[in-house]
Copies of this chain bind each other. A is one copy, B any other.
Amino acid sequence: MKLIFTKSDLTKAVNIVMKAVPSKTTMSILECILIDATTNEIKFTANDMELGIETKVAGEIVSKGQIAIDAKLFSEIVRKLPDNDITLETDDNFTTTITCEKSVFHLAGKSGEDFSYLPAITKERSVTLSQFQLKDVITQTLFSIAMNDNNKIMTGELFEVLNGSLKVVGLDGHRIAIRNISLDGPADDAKVIVPGKTLSELSKILAPDAESFVHIYFTNNHILFEFENTIVVSRLIEGEYFKVNQMLSNDYKTKITINKKDLLDSIDRANLMIRESDKKPIIINITDGSLEVKVTSSLGSSNEVIDIEKEGNDIMIGFNPKFLIDALRVIDDENITICLVNPKAPCFIKDREESYIYLILPVNFSA
Contacts and interface: CB of A to CB of B under 8 A. Distances in A.
A294 to B, nearest CB: 9
Given A80-B268, A265-B80, A269-B81, A105 B300 contact: yes
A266 interface: yes
Contacts of A244: none
Interface string A260-294: 00000110110011000000000000000000000
A298 to B, nearest CB: 9
Contacts of A302: 103-106
A269 B77 contact: yes
A287 to B, nearest CB: 14
Nearest to A266: B103
A119 interface: no
A102 B300 contact: no
Contact of A107 (B82, B300, B303): B300
B265 A105 contact: no
Contacts of A70: 299
Contacts of A305: 102
A96 to B, nearest CB: 8
Contacts of A103: 266, 269, 302-304
A268 B95 CA distance: 22
Nearest to A275: B73
A303 B102 CA distance: 8
* Number of copies of this kind of chain in the complex: 2
A265 B76 CA distance: 13
A306 to B, nearest CB: 7
A301 interface: yes
A70 B265 CA distance: 22
A108 interface: yes
Nearest to A70: B299
A73 B268 contact: no
Most buried by B among A80, A102, A299: A102
Contacts of A306: 102
A304 B102 contact: yes
A272 B82 contact: no
B269 A73 contact: no
Contacts of A273: 73, 105
Contacts of A80: 265, 268-269, 272
Contact of A106 (B82, B106, B265, B300): B300
Contacts of A272: 73, 76-77, 80
Given A102-B304, A104-B302, A105-B301, 9 more contacts: A73-B272, A80-B268, A80-B272, A104-B304, A105-B273, A105-B302, A106-B300, A107-B300, A108-B299
28 contacts: A73-B272, A73-B273, A73-B299, A77-B269, A77-B272, A80-B265, A80-B268, A80-B272, A81-B269, A82-B265, A95-B300, A102-B304, A102-B305, A102-B306, A103-B266, A103-B269, A103-B302, A103-B303, A103-B304, A104-B302, A104-B303, A104-B304, A105-B273, A105-B301, A106-B301, A106-B302, A107-B299, A108-B300
